[in-house]
Structure 1
Amino acid sequence: MSKPAIGVGLIGSGFMGRSHSLAYLNVDKLFELPFRVELRMLADQTEAQASRAADAFGFARATGDWRELVADSRIEVVSITTPNRLHKDMALAAIDAGKHVWCEKPLAPTLADARIMAEAARHRGVRTAVGFNYLKNPMMRLARDMIAGGEIGEVRTFRGIHAEDFMADVSQPWSWRLDPANGGGALVDIGSHIIAAARYLLGPIVEVDGRTDTLVTSRPIAAGAAERRTVAVDDVTTARLRFRSGVVGTIEANWLATGRTMQHAFEIAGSAGSIAFSQERFNELQLYCAGDEAARRGFRTIVAGPEHEPYGAFCVAPGHQIGFNDLKAIEARDFLLSIADDAPRHAGLGHAGLGHAGFDEGVAVLEVVDAIYRSARDGGQPVAIGVSAQ
């Protein structure tokens, strides 16, 4: 018997738009889903741009007006992969039309906007997802299971960083990422990932203090241009964290980290051992056991394999590795399963045991971001986190 189809619309065809497309193309070939995925429409800034992307990505139709996509009754799922400042209007329109929404992070430029989006989804009863794709790594699930199982004892400290170098070159032109209308700089753009990881692994963050620094204070208005534009967002942000469990920690968000293309990394120390991870080698997890014989102590490497669900859907052999777009396929699976599931709607990290991040999680992460920025503006004074992060 043929499965029913679920129609997908995509707004935006850049890096993340391509990744969403690949995820949708592969998800029902890799995983058992109750429906087949059909790529029905792609929207971009112009009709020509949308048509080129639709042909490349496998969408049936294209439009230069995202509102046309949202209004189409044949589309049940909308992916939003545009700059942050556009997320709110697009998501609210899709939600109002009864569509399920997968939105890239951060959910919105401001905490207030994110709350409006989450409440709209909750009221309309649609399913949501936020693009915290690094949470989908089987090694992240393993780390969380090991922590919950007491394998490193009582957790004491967390050290996390998300560092890249895509803004390290001072000749890099001013772009939408530097527009304060998008909610901030390195912290909200890439730091939101390490905040999401910290919450996934160790639970709610209840207090922060932070510092922001803008080190490249102006950028060329275009490649090679002499005219420059002021940069008014953070290049580097650091913060101290306190978790509800009593664990203390630090995070750094840095897009000037020369030589680092994806240092999404953490180390968690407990009374009986430690866990260390870096996205630069994301098919590996490092484990230190304090109970080992003194002459044999040291971090050991656990290599991803079919035993670490859902690695086996991609490869039957351990150590052969999965990649970035595979994480997006897992994210698509969890989002689509949340649509098919009859569990309470608008679930957050606990949904169906999958670690699915809905709009509520997007709000919780932005509560931490907002608190860090407020602390930095107030000279690093501690700021308590609001109730949504609990």
Structure 2
Amino acid sequence: MTKIGVGVIGTGFMGKTHALAWRNVKAVMGCAAAPELAVLCDTPLDRAEAFAGQLGFARATDDWRTLVADPAVQVVSITTPNRLHHEMALAALAAGKHVWCEKPMALTLAQAEEMEAAARKAGVVTLVGYNYLRNPAYAHAQRLLAEGAIGRVAQFRGWVDEDYQADPELPWTWRATLAEAGLGALGDLGCHLVSLATGLMGPVESLIADTQVIHQTRPLPEGGRAAVENEDAASALLRFAGGAQGSMVISRSAWGRKSRLGFEVHGTEGMIVYDQERMNELQLYQNRGPLAEQGFKTILTGPAHPPYGAFCPAPGHQLGFNDLKVIECAALVEALSGGAKAHPDFTDALVFERAIHAMAESARTGQRVTL
């Protein structure tokens, strides 16, 4: 595939991120195939048309089904609210289109399983939007573990905190409902943490979890208040299939935290520490040398941590969120061109979905859940 016809559904935060990634991927990463921005969809139509002009799309529409059916579109980016992922993905797969879908895959585990089965049947390329997995610092952490830099891995501690729902007087939105958003903090944030943990530790074998609705109601624009139906916070104790233990804490109501996605991996000979708010750094402790000289080492990412060098030749000058999306897009373009399988595809991402829904189930039942 030398040219890739792209259709993007949605022009919000993630829609613009996808569009920018499609625009920049060949220039930055030197991909063999060239994305062509064919159709942009949003409502109302004048919004779609305005963004199509701004972002360089050939056409705009307010009907996502028109985008999916368009013969100029070979791959569909789905960046809409969660409740629409399932229907749109199934329609795109049925039309033989490749799909790049934002996380979480769907509202329910059953819907995600249906999407995964449909993707396998269609035999097309799929990718789910876990761009934090593309961070060169994270990739280096994976290499360190594979090389035994901290000995036998024994424990994972992870956290993901943001404060976009910390204010109790923040107006009620679709994010507060099971019918529109599905899971709350678990679906919006927790799945990212699960993806990072799985890439470092392997699959989760079992877990026990608890959840909390911190703000039971939120104000409506027309007056009164409406109930919050999904969790603001969650915590879990995990056992990984490889035998290591783990813990996770997740909150969308943690004042002062903007993107505090991080982890510690404890080994028998050291530790690795990462924090997304300092996403170009990795902390490494190794139990080596004189005791008086031991301490954490800060590793700043640079060209020695691919593909950082595709963006900037100078170490320590830093990549950003949108750069990670370009790296993610490059993996999709490679898969579309017959190269390595895109990761995480619908099958890979279903593993993450099962973990977060297992946490929700454990919180409901008070029982440990085996995956």
Q: What TM-score does the superposition give when structure 2 sets the normalisation length?
A: 0.98
User: What is residue 353 of structure 2 aligned with on the other side?
Assistant: 366
| Equivalent pair of 1:202/1:243 in contact (CA under 8 Å) | yes
Offset at 1:215? 0.9
Tell me which amino acid in the other structure corresponds to 1:383.
V
Distance 2:269 2:281 in 1: 20
Tell me which amino acid in the other structure corresponds to 1:197.
L
Within the candidate set 323, 336, 341, 2:338 is matched to 341
Tell me which amino acid in the other structure corresponds to 1:264.
L
* Deviation by residue 1:318-359 (Cα, 9 ceiling, x = unmatched): 11111110000000000111111256xxx5xxx5xxxx2111
Offset at 1:226? 3.5
| Equivalent pair of 2:85/2:101 in contact (CA under 8 Å) | yes
Offset at 1:34? 2.2
User: What is residue 48 of structure 1 aligned with on the other side?
Assistant: 46
User: What is residue 189 of structure 1 aligned with on the other side?
Assistant: 188
Cα 1:301–1:342, aligned 2, differ >3 Å: closer, same or farther? closer
User: What is residue 99 of structure 2 aligned with on the other side?
Assistant: 101
Distance 2:59 2:236 in 1: 45
| Equivalent pair of 2:33/2:333 in contact (CA under 8 Å) | no
User: What is residue 258 of structure 1 aligned with on the other side?
Assistant: 255
Within the candidate set 13, 18, 21, 1:23 is matched to 21
- Residue identity over aligned pairs, in percent, reads 47
Cα 1:4–1:305, aligned 2, differ >3 Å: closer, same or farther? same
Within the candidate set 307, 324, 328, 2:325 is matched to 328
* Deviation by residue 1:87-141 (Cα, 9 ceiling, x = unmatched): 0110011111111100000011111111111111111110000010100000111
User: What is residue 139 of structure 2 aligned with on the other side?
Assistant: 141
Distance 2:194 2:353 in 1: 9
Distance 1:82 1:280 in 2: 25
| Equivalent pair of 2:209/2:362 in contact (CA under 8 Å) | yes
User: What is residue 198 of structure 1 aligned with on the other side?
Assistant: 197
* Deviation by residue 1:273-329 (Cα, 9 ceiling, x = unmatched): 000000000000000011232111221100000010000000001111111100000
User: What is residue 388 of structure 1 aligned with on the other side?
Assistant: none
User: What is residue 216 of structure 2 aligned with on the other side?
Assistant: 217
* Deviation by residue 1:57-78 (Cα, 9 ceiling, x = unmatched): 2111100100000000110010
Distance 2:320 2:187 in 1: 24
Higher mean C-alpha deviation, range 334-343 or range 85-94:
334-343
User: What is residue 180 of structure 1 aligned with on the other side?
Assistant: 178
Higher mean C-alpha deviation, range 246-255 or range 49-58:
49-58
Tell me whether 1:282 sits opposite 2:279 in the alignment: yes
Cα 1:166–1:95, aligned 2, differ >3 Å: closer, same or farther? same
Cα 1:292–1:165, aligned 2, differ >3 Å: closer, same or farther? farther
Offset at 1:45? 2.2
Distance 2:226 2:187 in 1: 21
| Equivalent pair of 1:156/1:270 in contact (CA under 8 Å) | yes
Distance 2:238 2:337 in 1: 36
Tell me whether 1:382 sits opposite 2:343 in the alignment: no
| Equivalent pair of 1:46/1:65 in contact (CA under 8 Å) | no
User: What is residue 72 of structure 2 aligned with on the other side?
Assistant: 74
* Deviation by residue 1:141-175 (Cα, 9 ceiling, x = unmatched): 10011011100000011000110001111111111
Tell me which amino acid in the other structure corresponds to 2:311.
F
Higher mean C-alpha deviation, range 90-99 or range 50-59:
50-59
Distance 1:4 1:155 in 2: 43
User: What is residue 305 of structure 1 aligned with on the other side?
Assistant: 302
| Equivalent pair of 2:211/2:233 in contact (CA under 8 Å) | yes
Tell me whether 1:230 sits opposite 2:216 in the alignment: no
Distance 2:293 2:29 in 1: 41
Aligned length: 370
**Off by >6 Å, runs of 4+ in structure 1:** none
Within the candidate set 235, 239, 244, 1:247 is matched to 244
Matched residue SS, 1:172:
coil
| Equivalent pair of 2:161/2:261 in contact (CA under 8 Å) | yes
Unaligned regions of 5+ residues in structure 2, if any? none
Tell me which amino acid in the other structure corresponds to 1:384.
T
Tell me which amino acid in the other structure corresponds to 1:10.
V
| Equivalent pair of 2:168/2:215 in contact (CA under 8 Å) | yes
Distance 1:192 1:176 in 2: 19
Higher mean C-alpha deviation, range 50-59 or range 308-317:
50-59
| Equivalent pair of 2:19/2:55 in contact (CA under 8 Å) | yes
